[in-house]
Structure 1
């Protein structure tokens, strides 16, 4: 295989997130089978769906990482920030699903949720923006 370590690590993260999505699908199925309304807790459902989407988003990011002209360390940091926030989001959904403490974490957001969302927005858009810019510079620069 002739991929950079930044791409290999990003693809590894994508595979692990996809594997997590499959495991969360079992938890969702169990919730659907055992609940009176045949629905899993909303945050179990959200964790499952988000993991599926983030797995493919991470795979797409790996393509841009591989094609980026930026140095390996820059691509790795940018993709790492993006994947970190994907995982934090999934983790928060899993936590709410396990606790069954809310059906809407934004109903009464505190400073931690608001600050976390601001960091997530900056991290996800910024992380992807870096690798996408590296691709654009290489493709059109």
Structure 2
């Protein structure tokens, strides 16, 4: 059995996010090794953990896309929308970790933070929902 384009793209993205997570682990280790408290900045830690979790979540999206009864284009768009927001979240955590500007991005949120979070929630739940329904249709 050969994988569909949708599953291949999402599987590749899963692997790339996993590699990114491993690199973030090095950054986290470096901060832990040089910190008086032996802790990394909270957002460096969050970025590392989120990337690990999102890499495996993207793997689930790839499996759902592969067995979906929906057209490849629908699956690919749904999966890419979800993955885009996974990546955007990791990047935002990295920015806070690099700047060391906060340990809670909602304490003094920048303009647009709440709108972005609502958009992220709708996109991630919606895109994943499309793939789950596609999977059910394809059963």
TM range (shorter): over 0.9
Which position in structure 2 is the counterpart of 1:68?
A: 68
Name whichever of 67-76 and 110-119 sits farther off. 110-119
Query: Separation in 1 of the partners of 2:109 and 2:23?
Result: 29
Instruction: Please list, as runs of the form range in 1=range in 2, the aligned pairs for 1:47-126 lying within 5 A after superposition.
Output: 47-126=47-126
Aligned match of 1:25 = 25
CA-CA distance at 1:110 after TM superposition: 4.1
CA RMSD of aligned residues (A): 0.9
Structure 2 unmatched runs, 5+: none
Q: 2:55, 2:95 → 1: CA distance?
A: 19
Separation (CA, whole Å) in 1 of partners of 2:110 and 2:125: 23
**TM-score between the two structures when normalised by the length of structure 1:** 0.96
Partner of residue 46, structure 2: 46
Could you tell me how far 1:108 is from its partner in structure 2? Answer: 2.0
Q: Normalization by structure 2: what TM-score? A: 0.98
1:37 corresponds to 2:34: no
Aligned to 1:14: 14
Q: Could you list the runs of 5+ residues in structure 1 that have no partner in the other structure? A: none
- Aligned residues, how many? 139
List 4+ stretches of structure 1 deviating above 6 A. none
Task: Give the SS at the match of 1:60.
Answer: helix
- Cα shift readout 1:31-84 (whole Å, capped 9, x = no counterpart): 000000000000000000000000000001110000001000000000000000
Q: Distance in 2 between the 1:108 and 1:123 partners? A: 24
CA distance in 1, matches of 2:70, 2:104: 39
